[in-house]
A = this chain, B = another copy of it.
Amino acid sequence: MSAKDVLVIAPHPDDETLGAGGTIARSAAAGLKVTVLTVAAHMPPLYSEAVHQKTLAESRKAQALLGAAEPRFLDLPALSLGEVPVAEFNGAIQAVVKEIEPSVVLCPYPDRHIDHRLIFDAVMVATRPVGPGAGIKLLAAYETLSETHWNAPHIEPNFVPSWVVDISATIDLKLQALACYESQVPPFPGPRSLEAARALALFRGTQAGFAYGEGFHIIRMTSAVEELVTGV
C-alpha cells in the first residue's frame, strides 16, 4: 500500500484500456502501482460461462501488458447492477477504495451504457472526501469509445476533457493491450476498432500540444501547486 497508488475502475473488461490504457502504462512505467478494479462481467445468465472466462483472460493479458498490478474483479453480472441493493453495491466499491487508499482514482464517465452510470454513481459515493476518500488527491472520469459519444447531445452530459495526459510514449502499448480483447474489438470502421482508438488519441493529443493523449473530465482535485509542479 502506497500513498501514490492509482485505482482505475472499469465497468467491463476493456473499458480501462479504452479509457485510460496509455495513462496506466505511463504511470506504471514511472513506478506507480496501478490497480484496475473491473466491476461487471459478461457472465451467465445473459452470457455463457465461456464468454465470461474468455473476457477475464483477455483482461488479465491486457492489464499485464500495460504493467498494471494484480487485477481485481468484482464479478457482478453486466446489465443487472441495478438489482444489487444500493448500500451493498456502494459498499463493495468502497471496500476496495478503503483497502488500496489510492491517491488518484479514474472512473468511467456516465454514458450510454447503464452499467457505466450505476458504477459512476457508486464511485462518486465511495470517493467522497470523508473517511476512506479523504486521501484521494484526484478523481477524474475517462471517456469510453462509442458509449461516451452516444450520449444524447445536450440532453445527457457530454464529455469535454479538462485534463489530457500525453501518451505519445505508450500509445502503441495501449493499442496492443486493446488488441488483446479479441471478443470486444471490431474491425475498422467499428466504433471501438483499433483505428478509432488511435484516432481519438491523436485528436486529443494534438489539441493539447502533443502527439497522442487521453482525455479526462476532472471531478475533484485537491493537490497543492507545489505538489503539482514537483515532477515537472
Contact = CB atoms under 8 A, between A and B. Distances in A.
A120 to B, nearest CB: 8
A44 interface: no
A33 to B, nearest CB: 11
A125 B112 contact: yes
A190 interface: yes
6 contacts: A82-B86, A129-B150, A134-B209, A145-B207, A166-B222, A208-B220
Interface of A: 3-4, 6, 23, 26-27, 30-32, 46, 79-80, 82-83, 85-87, 103-104, 109-110, 112, 114, 121, 124-125, 128-130, 133-134, 137-138, 141, 145-146, 149-150, 152-158, 160-166, 168, 188-191, 193, 195-196, 198-200, 202-203, 205-211, 213, 217-232
Given A23-B225, A79-B87, A190-B206, 20 more contacts: A3-B229, A27-B224, A31-B226, A79-B85, A110-B155, A138-B228, A150-B207, A153-B154, A153-B219, A154-B217, A163-B222, A164-B222, A165-B223, A188-B206, A189-B202, A191-B207, A198-B199, A200-B203, A213-B222, A227-B231
